[in-house]
Structure 1
Amino acid sequence: MAEGPEDFRAFQRTLAERMRAIEARSGRPQKGDDIILSVMNDARFGAIDLRFIKPWADNDQHSKLNVMIRKVFEIWHETSANRYTNPETGRAYDLPGAVQMIFSDLGTQTSQSKRGFSAYNWIRSELIRMGVPAEQIAFMQDYDKAAAKLRLFGDLNAGRKRILIGSTATMGTGVNAQQRLKALHHLDVPWLVADIMQREGRIVRQGNQHDEVEIYAYAQQGSVDATNWQLLERKMRFIGLAMSGDRTIRRIEDVGGEGNQFAMAKALASGDMRLIQKAGLEADIARLERLQAAHFDDQFNVRRQIQRAERDIRTAQTRIPKIEAALNQRISTKGEAFALHRNTKVVESREKAGAWILSQARLAEREGRTGRWTMGRIAGFEVMCEAHEQQFRTSDKRKREVVSTIYLDTPAGEIEVETDRETKPLGLISRIEHAALRLESDLAETQRSLEEAERRLPAYRAREGLPFVEAVDLQAKRAELHALDAELEAEGKEEEAALKSATANDDAASDAIEKTEEVA
């Protein structure tokens, strides 16, 4: 944690004034107007070093940037004698010395032209001034070709380069230079948890020859840093809950959404820790309320799943005996055993049986007859034909037409046999026989459905009625926020009363002076 000198506190006050001006502005910002994003960017840059804001400012030895540089040099000096082994040959590398990585998405070399100052250039020049050989320092942005990157990684593993500086985008992935990597430094605070994970994945990595590694995160006292690290911690905790397999987590949202952005920016700019605490509490409460809503959604889903499982069990228990009865009633039609039993006649030819059934169904359609009648028995089941009217729209008129449906009437229910204008007699009989043979698969599917419903029902019942585990924490944070709001409101009223009193005294003094001048 870098100390916050008076110059930095004055800078924080200017940010607070800018935020008040933005808050007081009505309507949409015009071109050239100050906006929240600009304030936040200046806050993040200023937290590293005030020369990003005022390039002419003096070098502050207490800035976060200089604090980090001293730590990097200290580790560079302490690890200069460390020896490492080439994993390919099993022999010690010729050169000693550990490697360090410095991550910063802000203050790259391009910021020299945009803001008049570059953290990258300053880190290199200061380390060289302290005694680090220039050839041991590298900027990742200088190695944009694949071959150049491979040479750089080789130099780092061999000890020819010992300090690598880069951004999350250039150095967060695809960097296999972990053999000597002893320390990693976060100079800035990235926005995303994924950025932190990518950065630290460079050092916490298989192939690193250290038993322990060091990760440093830097913050400027009274700046945006502390709260940004806190926001990342909240996001990481929420993601951890989701990744843990907790089934009550049904929605993941970024806790740093737009609704809290203005309050957080105002708090950071003010430097008042109570406002930062208030913004943090509001973010925590919003997160917990989302978790609470997800919990209620989950409980609703649990009850619905219980009802569905119970319904599936009842349906299966009712249907299984019916399918078994249908199987007991079914008669084999394999090979020459096929027969269509009509009232007075038995048709043993599949083609003749199919032709007769189709002719009766299509005759009903042509004559416009509706109703339901038996066509005979196949496989021990009644072959039924049902004809009914349907309406079709042709241009602006409605046309009525009779259509027929053929199905098997079984104890397990009606099994429809699909037909169309192109269906042939043998094709129809094949479909009827296949429908009768589907009973085994229907029984197996229904039994599987019963077993699955009986298996999942106890788990859902165990979750039914579970309380929201963070209810106490939510209630406590709401109470804490309420107390903090009351404190800030009371202080605001006191300041307002003091201001009115001071104004009244000034007015009285002015009146007295005027009267004295009149007497004179």
Structure 2
Amino acid sequence: MYRTFADVVTKSDLDEQAKQAGERPLTPPIEGGKPYNDVVERSPAQAAYMDKIIQRMENLPRDPRIDNSLKVTNDARKAGLDFRLIEPTADDFEGSKLNAAVERIHEIWRDTTNDKGTQLVFCDLSTPKGGKVPASAQSERQDLESGALIDVDGTLVRETPEQEDMAEDDGDDALAGVVNMDEVIAMSSGKFSVYDDMKQKLMAKGIPADEIAFIHDANTDIRKAKLFSDMNTGRARVLLGSTAKMGAGMNVQKRLVAAHHLDAPWRPSDLEQRNGRIIRQGNIFYERNPDTFKVKIFNYATKMTYDSRMWQCIEYKSAAIEQFRKGDLLQRVIDDVASEAANAAEMKAAASGNPLILMQVQLAADLRKLEALYSQHQRSQHRMRDRLKYLASTETRLAKEETLYAENVRRRDSHTHTVMEKGKEKILVELTADGKTFTAKDSEKIKDRLLEGVKEVTRDSSATFPFGSYRGFEVSVERAAIRMSGKDGFQLSLRGAGEREFRPGNLFYDFEEKFSLAGLFQRMDNFLARGLDDAVETQRENARQEKAELETVKATLGKEFPQQEELALARENHSAVIRELQRMQEDSSYVSTWTPKTSLTDEQPTTAEAPQPKENSAAAAVPAAPPEKQAHTLKYGEGEGRTEYTVSNQHNGYTLQNGYVLRRTYFNSSIGSLGQSLYEDGQWHSTATAPSGMKLKQFETREAAIQVARNDAEQRGLEETPPAEAAAPASTLAGETFRDRLARAGFHPTGSDFYGKNEHALTLDAVDGGMYELRVFQTGNDKIGLRVQYEKNHIINGARTVRATFDTFAEALEHVEAYRQLTAPQAKAAVQTASPSGGVHGFVISRPRMR
């Protein structure tokens, strides 16, 4: 719907238009086609601090003034940038991303000395400490630590008018009462400054101090103009600043050769504004040599820190915005990744330090595209089935039109009277209305009647005024307008045999048009002379085209999706890589050797070598039956802040031959869920915190693992919540079992988790010509979610959309089965009114528990 009133033109569209016109793009291209991701190893201090971050997240106090998730997140972001923002006295880690950026900035400065090339460095989480810090910095820090209101775009919203006064002007376009959260964090980062540290290191490498500038020093319009002029002339060659101060409105692009992102912003628009400073018209190097000059953009991240989460946020937000603006008809759900989103996805994968994550991102993108094409194929088949029914009635409809045509011709001829004038046959004007017949002699009365009709339809645009009967056809006056030309007026329509109506174009009158009564009757005579023949000939031509279309539809209907094998392969590879990632998350010592299949007939590589029994052993003679899948969950608390312990002989889809493992999960709406497993050192670790080579602790019996879980909960002061019902919770259906049960129910994975985890879809044809799309998924609180969407004639009926949450998988499938019965071939076509339960027309079901 958005694209019906919005015309979206992206940079790639402009570049493509320029290419087709034989012209070069207006802005310089990026070297390599996309930003370069420089991912460095984390320092031992950063690794140890990330352990503390996870510990804080799992043990947040009830009083947010002591600690809260926002404080933890901000500290994690600062630690990822440079640990000295947390501990100013810490050592300068040689392999940090700050030092990597300094090396690259100096190298580019040296290589572009002759041309005086300039560079931009973006950093939001620090400020220069040489300048004056705004007096409100301390109060803003207190707001931040006490859990003040934080908007979704990363801004801190003030609650009182007194807090709105700033001691320093942050710009003319600053929002009243709103402070950028990153600026607040930067001002509260202690004694250490990323800006000052980088400047000292750049100066030590030989860059003059007057060629290094901070945007924060240009705090007036005159100083800004001077600084921008220095950058454009090359007197200043390295400019450091934040997104808020160096984003929209800054024009320093004349000599820019590189841009560096030391941290990731919250909003995709911020990243776009940063890059928009260098990908911009007016670069003199690009104008001088458009064929070879390219700008460089560098993204910096530290492995296994919060940098991965920040780039993930940019990915998700960019994905939704990109697809919404594109209006891709193949996608029914906004979840595609393109443009900046794709770059952010690669950055997230690289920052995580796991190559399988990048593979999963690529496989998920391929699967989404194939699923979209498959859904389009299914809808096309559904539309063709409806079209086939219509085309099969072509002969019947044409025969009816031929009958009506013959009847209308007979009616016209039998009600036509003529006279001879000057040797020519003339049709007499005879208009019958209200039991009276008016002739040409009654022209004034005819005009008055027509004027009465025009006044009536002008007062009420929905009204139809009976003008009279002429040559066997009932003539009516209607209000009409031609939108293309903007004309407004009235239309005369003629109704003949079989209620067949004609609205000839020559019987439309503009209110500004000169009117002639004789001309009106001449126009009606002209239509009755040729219009009836033209109308039936049009029907005959349509019938010929429909017969040809019928053969095409018959040949196409029922054909399988041409990329079915490719889709099945993509589904299998995506499920396999997810299982591998889950296994690596649980067992830090596990090294995956998995590679994607290239065809369905390929043998899947083994992911772990099991010890082989000796040839003469009893095990070799009689293969042991695989153990049954077992899982037991202990719940402590309900909803927000609850903790769950899961004892299972399953390890991400793999059944342990001997023993059980124990996992602890903490649930929080702000951060999602944090899971850790118990390892052999007696400590709880996630994949990121587990010591190298450490293995999961395995218990010989389930009871032993349950007792350890209860002891741990008692030490943490947790009180066990008794199970609400005996049925297994949805969590026990995770992994293979969940997918298998949905596959048996006819569902297929969507390749996305838009509504929830492990999302699967099923399409059913409704008896009234519409279709239902059912999506089943796992919710954040470990329930089973169901979303049903009804569509007919390419229009989604929101009133018939069902959203429900179930405690058990069986309840959800029971609800799905009711829709199957509704859409079964033997279902009656009679459509009842909507059920009180909020279900669908013609379908009464019990109301599901809504959450």
TM-score (norm 2): 0.40
Give the aligned partner of residue 47 of structure 1. 80
Please state how far the C-alpha of 1:413 moved relative to its aligned partner. 0.4
Give the aligned partner of residue 50 of structure 2. 12
Contact 1:415 1:435 survives alignment (8 Å): no
1:249 to 323, 331, 337: 331
Change (3 A) 1:19 1:338: farther
2:495 to 398, 408, 416: 408
Range that drifts further, 347-356 or 178-187: 347-356
Q: Which amino acid aligns with 2:119?
A: Q
Give the aligned partner of residue 66 of structure 1. 99
2:123 to 104, 117, 121: 104
Give the structure with the larger helix fraction: 1
Change (3 A) 1:98 1:346: closer
Q: Within 2, Cα distance between the matches of 1:164 and 1:296?
A: 50
2:246 to 171, 185, 201: 171
Contact 1:3 1:221 survives alignment (8 Å): yes
For residues 38-187 of structure 1, the aligned pairs below 5 Å read 38-80=71-113, 82-83=114-115, 97-109=116-128, 111=185, 113-116=187-190, 117-143=192-218, 148-187=223-262
Give the aligned partner of residue 276 of structure 2. 201
Stretches of structure 2 lacking an aligned partner (at least 5 in a row): 1-38, 129-182, 287-292, 338-347, 419-425, 454-465, 477-492, 505-515, 587-649, 652-659, 663-695, 709-851
Q: Which amino acid aligns with 1:114?
A: S
Matched, 1:339 2:429: yes
Name the % identity: 25
SS in 2 for 1:497: coil
Please state how far the C-alpha of 1:187 moved relative to its aligned partner. 0.7
Q: Within 2, Cα distance between the matches of 1:144 and 1:462?
A: 69
Matched, 1:298 2:298: no
Q: Which amino acid aligns with 2:295?
A: V
SS in 1 for 2:239: strand
Q: Within 1, Cα distance between the matches of 2:404 and 2:197?
A: 82
For residues 399-438 of structure 1, the aligned pairs below 5 Å read 408-410=495-497, 413-414=500-501, 437=527
Give the aligned partner of residue 668 of structure 2. none
Give the aligned partner of residue 215 of structure 1. 297
Q: Within 1, Cα distance between the matches of 2:580 and 2:248?
A: 45
2:576 to 454, 460, 479: 479
Give the aligned partner of residue 473 of structure 2. 382
Contact 2:381 2:558 survives alignment (8 Å): no
Please state how far the C-alpha of 1:59 moved relative to its aligned partner. 3.1
Give the aligned partner of residue 516 of structure 1. none
Q: Which amino acid aligns with 1:115?
A: S
Give the structure with the larger strand fraction: 2
Please state how far the C-alpha of 1:285 moved relative to its aligned partner. 8.2
Q: Within 1, Cα distance between the matches of 2:268 and 2:121?
A: 17
Please state how far the C-alpha of 1:310 moved relative to its aligned partner. 6.4
Write the deviation string for residues 162-182 of structure 1: whole angstroms up to 9, x where unpaired.
011123343343433233222
Please state how far the C-alpha of 1:286 moved relative to its aligned partner. 7.6
Give the aligned partner of residue 462 of structure 2. none
Write the deviation string for residues 63-108 of structure 1: whole angstroms up to 9, x where unpaired.
222321232223223332x23xxxxxxxxxxxxx221111223223
Range that drifts further, 170-179 or 240-249: 240-249
Contact 2:449 2:467 survives alignment (8 Å): no
Contact 2:81 2:262 survives alignment (8 Å): yes
Q: Which amino acid aligns with 1:339?
A: V
Q: Which amino acid aligns with 1:175?
A: M
Change (3 A) 1:289 1:149: same
Contact 2:408 2:496 survives alignment (8 Å): no
Q: Within 1, Cα distance between the matches of 2:383 and 2:270?
A: 38
Q: Which amino acid aligns with 1:408?
A: R
Number of positions where the alignment pairs a residue of Structure 1 with one of Structure 2: 426
Give the aligned partner of residue 497 of structure 1. 699
Matched, 1:2 2:78: no
SS in 1 for 2:496: strand
Q: Within 2, Cα distance between the matches of 1:45 and 1:444?
A: 77
Change (3 A) 1:41 1:279: farther
Q: Which amino acid aligns with 1:3?
A: E
Change (3 A) 1:272 1:444: same
Please state how far the C-alpha of 1:219 moved relative to its aligned partner. 1.8
Q: Within 1, Cα distance between the matches of 2:358 and 2:297?
A: 28
Range that drifts further, 408-417 or 179-188: 408-417
Change (3 A) 1:64 1:311: same
Please state how far the C-alpha of 1:156 moved relative to its aligned partner. 1.4
Change (3 A) 1:10 1:291: same
Q: Within 2, Cα distance between the matches of 1:113 and 1:345?
A: 92
Write the deviation string for residues 365-419 of structure 1: whole angstroms up to 9, x where unpaired.
xxxxxxxx997533xx33389xxxxxxxxxxxxxxxxxxxx963257803599xx
Please state how far the C-alpha of 1:148 moved relative to its aligned partner. 5.0
SS in 2 for 1:54: coil
Give the aligned partner of residue 16 of structure 2. none
Change (3 A) 1:464 1:41: farther
Q: Within 2, Cα distance between the matches of 1:327 and 1:144?
A: 84
Q: Within 2, Cα distance between the matches of 1:163 and 1:249?
A: 43
SS in 2 for 1:120: helix
CA radius of gyration, larger in: 1
Change (3 A) 1:219 1:208: farther
Write the deviation string for residues 81-137 of structure 1: whole angstroms up to 9, x where unpaired.
x23xxxxxxxxxxxxx22111122322345564121332233234333443323222
Q: Within 2, Cα distance between the matches of 1:43 and 1:431?
A: 84
Contact 1:104 1:188 survives alignment (8 Å): yes
Stretches of structure 1 lacking an aligned partner (at least 5 in a row): 84-96, 256-266, 362-372, 386-405, 418-425, 505-520
For residues 230-269 of structure 1, the aligned pairs below 5 Å read 247-253=329-335
Q: Within 2, Cα distance between the matches of 1:55 and 1:455?
A: 79
Q: Which amino acid aligns with 2:574?
A: K
Contact 1:326 1:412 survives alignment (8 Å): no
Contact 2:384 2:557 survives alignment (8 Å): no
Matched, 1:348 2:367: no
SS in 1 for 2:236: coil
Please state how far the C-alpha of 1:203 moved relative to its aligned partner. 2.8
TM-score (norm 1): 0.61
Contact 2:124 2:265 survives alignment (8 Å): yes
Change (3 A) 1:70 1:339: same
Q: Within 2, Cα distance between the matches of 1:194 and 1:223?
A: 23
